[in-house]
Amino acid sequence: MQKIYLASDSKARRKLLEIFGLKFTVISSGAAEQMSPRQRSFADLVKHNAEAKARAAGRRVKDGIIIAADTIVVDGKRIYGKPRDLADAHRMLKKLKRKTARCPNRAFRRGSRPGAFARDAIG
């Protein structure tokens, strides 16, 4: 069976893979996330970030399946990053209260062969 790597420090993503009963190893990709679209749509931004995480993690492991993902919260043209702490999370939620926010996300995985990547759109 192929070894599975989760290129994320996200507790939620870890929990999701655990719910599916997958055995995996968490590795930090070290990739810097872009938070500005710069001529990209929000969907392209999260795709870019997920791919960057997968490729960075791919340089650290020879073979196996690498799963990387990115999600952002968008209100109009404003992107909300990860909250710094509980107070920041509360402030963000208060601003988003009674609004419709978009949450584009993408998953990106490397297959069993190094360099063989596949994009999987989720949401």
Q: What is the CATH number of the domain that holds 23?
A: 3.90.950.10
Domains of the chain: total: 1
Distance (Å, whole) CA 122 – CA 67: 13
77 lies in a domain? no
Q: What is the pTM of this model?
A: 0.76
Given a contact cutoff of 8 angstroms between Cβ atoms, the answer to whether 44 and 88 are in contact is: no
- Among 9, 70, 85, 120, the active-site one is 70
Judged against a pLDDT cut of 60, whether residue 72 lies above it is answered with yes
86 lies in a domain? no
Query: For residue range 12-64, what is the model confidence (pLDDT) as tens digits?
Result: 899 999 999 999 999 988 888 888 877 778 888 888 888 889 889 888 888 88
16 lies in a domain? yes
98 lies in a domain? no
40 lies in a domain? yes
Annotation marks residue 85 as catalytic: no
**Domain span holding position 114:** 4-72+103-121
